[in-house]
Amino acid sequence: MSTSLTCCICSAPTNYAHFGINSCRSCAEFYKRSVLADRAFACRKGDGKCTIVHGDRHNCRGCRLVRCRQMGMKLTDQKPAEPHRLEPSTSAEYKDTLISRISREYSASVERRKACEYTLRPTSLHRHVKAEFAENLLLCSWRFMIDVLKMYAGEYIQFASACFPEFASFPLDDQRLLLRNFASRLFLAEGQCGTFRNFGSYDGPHFMATLTTCHDSRNFKFFIEEEIPDSYKEVVKVTEYYTERGRRLLGPILAKSQFTEVEYAVLFALSIWQIDLNQNLPDHIVEMSDKVRRQIFESLKEYYQKELGLSNYSVRLGNLTTFEHIIQEGTNLLNEEVQAYNLTGMLTADISFLQIVMQISL
């Protein structure tokens, strides 16, 4: 069955990873030839912002190669190497390595996904409207959000594999099962946390949509006008309704918790291993999830004690676990919202991806 994943370079449909990232065979072969021949290409336009389109024989080779490198392609990384495979340990050395790796890999993932979003803007955003009082953010459209989500799916697998040898050792089918378990949760958690990190509260009109775009509650029409230009008013009401419910659900815990940058990264990592019982995952995946989550929490305790100097960190741990549970409620809310959009006819072209990867019941 197709997972509707897309190549991180040219957005072509693909079911495979090449050289460490989700990519089509054409882009993988281009990267391999270029690296083995030690080639360097100049940007055709000279600004380094060319769009890479699947099947276009006139794609800018300079920008295509840069994109391959930005997204993390490595010629020797077709199968994650495990020369230093981490085993469960209670040593501070292992815990420090785990927490720092999660933080480092999350930052790298953010930068890769931002770079990819910038390359999607020319083809996926029907208009470029800057968000008021938000530097470098554009308003998000439905089409852009879906295209970004397809790119994120492959990136989520890359992040999980880089952080956890346990995930990297799973067969691809198991990795995809886990992806379907956590994709919606990761997207929602990052957006909600991003709102608070970028705007300081939920009191303003702006809400983060992706890493480089946001919604403006005064202009929800922009989000859906390209999909249903003649009947957008009812959909705007749906968006307003669920945005307010999300604000009431998630705003208080984020305002209360004041998470650090490391805690944000840890929340992202924990969400990978937070099992949704409705998914009926195999026992070996559930058992591995329990084990890895224990390792993360042990590492986090060391972070609280050594980096933050806290002798009593029960409140911070409690805030993290509370947020996890609330995000799970939020995914149920997201499911309802997308179902409401489906009733308007918005989702015709995207139903397969939303059902298979994002696990939206349509």
| CB within 8 Å of 215: residues ≥ 6 apart | 139, 140, 206, 207, 208, 209, 223, 239, 243
What kind and span of H or E run contains 295?
A: helix 283-302
Lowest mean pLDDT among 28-37, 330-339, 342-351: 342-351
Task: Convert the pLDDT of each residue in 233-270 to its tens digit.
Answer: 888 898 899 989 998 998 899 888 889 999 999 999 99
**Whether residues 225 and 351 fall in one domain:** yes
Pair of tokens at residue 86? 């981490």
39 and 87 together in one domain: no
Do 224 and 335 belong together in one domain?
Answer: yes
**Residues 153 and 25 placed together within one structural domain of the fold:** no
- Of 225, 57, 79, 214, the C-alpha closest to 135 is 214
Of the residues 58, 79, 100, the one at which a domain ends: 79
* CA gap 288, 286 in Å, rounded: 5
Does residue 118 belong to any structural domain of this protein? yes
- Whether 142 and 55 map to the same domain: the answer is no
pTM summary value: 0.73
pLDDT above 90 as % of the chain = 40
CATH of the domain at 40: 3.30.50.10
Residue 361, domain member (yes or no)? no
**Cα dihedral across residues 156, 19, 108, 44: positive or negative:** negative
Render pLDDT for 119-142 as a digit per residue (tens, 0 to 9).
888 888 888 988 876 668 999 998
Helical ranges in 125-224 per DSSP H: 142-163, 165-168, 172-199, 221-224
Residue 362 lies in a domain: no
Rounded Cα distance between 151 and 124, Å, is 12
Strand ranges across the sheet with 206-208: 138-139, 213-216, 206-208
Mean pLDDT of 191-214: 89
Domain finish residue from 19, 47, 79: 79
Range of the domain at 134: 81-356
Domain end among 61, 79, 97: 79
Residue 74 shares a structural domain with residue 88: no
Most confident of 1-5, 32-36, 137-141, 304-308: 137-141
Q: Average pLDDT over the chain, rounded to whole? A: 84
* Residue 1: pLDDT band with limits 50, 70, 90: very low
